């Protein structure tokens, strides 16, 4: 089995994500939405655990959000559809934060904090933003950007979307988990 170093892995991910993220915005033929439907037994795949650094270099783990409904949003600063989607995520975060909801942004930029921190400031992102690594890209099987997951309060993956999604879709899915 071949092992890729981090730079090669991020290059591979970059090539894949460029198919979903172009400078001209999303192309409907290149983005896809995959939704994990609830099963009859209401059991869901568990989100892979992680510990990543935030933009202030503090360690943050998925366990830190235990008991909350989480929208994990994988993005890159160069991804135009990611930039379009983020203002809606900020609105949802503000609207439902008091009910136990949190958005967690995870950057896939290999340059890390140097490019992500100014991006966060420019867009006014006030939810937690973490710096991703090759392991999280692999663990979450990222195929394009943006990729967003809705996690229930037990860390189960309820919905998985590749490509830009309308805020209304996220809101409906968040409410289904917040108010079962």
Percent above pLDDT 90 for the chain: 75
Instruction: Read off the pLDDT of residues 98-132 as tens digits, 9 standing for 90 and up.
Output: 999 999 999 999 999 999 999 999 999 999 999 99
Domains in the chain: ranges and CATH: 6-21+33-178 (3.40.30.10)
Main-chain phi, psi angles of 60, to 5 degrees: -130, 135
Instruction: State the CB neighbour count (10 A cutoff) for residue 91.
Output: 14
Instruction: State the CB neighbour count (10 A cutoff) for residue 121.
Output: 10
Kindly state the tokens that stand for 78.
């160069």
Residue 118 CA to residue 115 CA, distance in Å, equals 6
pLDDT confidence of residue 42: 52
Question: What number is the average pLDDT over the span 135-149?
Answer: 96
- pTM higher than the cut 0.95: no
């Amino acid at each position: 089995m071949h092992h890729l170093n981090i730079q090669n892995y991020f290059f591979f991910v970059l090539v894949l994500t460029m198919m979903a993220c172009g400078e001209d915005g999303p192309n409907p033929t290149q983005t896809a939405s995959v939704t994990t439907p609830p099963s009859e037994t209401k059991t869901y795949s568990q989100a892979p655990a992680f510990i990543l650094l935030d933009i202030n270099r503090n360690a943050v783990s998925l366990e830190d959000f235990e008991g909350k409904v989480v929208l994990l949003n994988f993005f890159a600063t160069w991804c135009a559809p990611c930039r379009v989607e983020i203002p809606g995520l900020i609105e949802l975060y503000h609207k439902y934060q008091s009910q136990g909801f949190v958005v967690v942004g995870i950057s896939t930029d290999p340059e890390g904090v140097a490019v992500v921190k100014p991006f966060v400031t420019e867009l006014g992102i006030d939810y937690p933003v973490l710096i991703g690594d090759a392991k999280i890209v692999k663990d979450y099987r990222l195929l394009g950007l943006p990729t967003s997951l809705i996690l229930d309060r037990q860390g189960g993956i309820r919905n998985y979307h590749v490509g830009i999604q309308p805020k209304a879709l996220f809101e409906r899915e968040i409410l289904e988990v917040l108010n079962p």
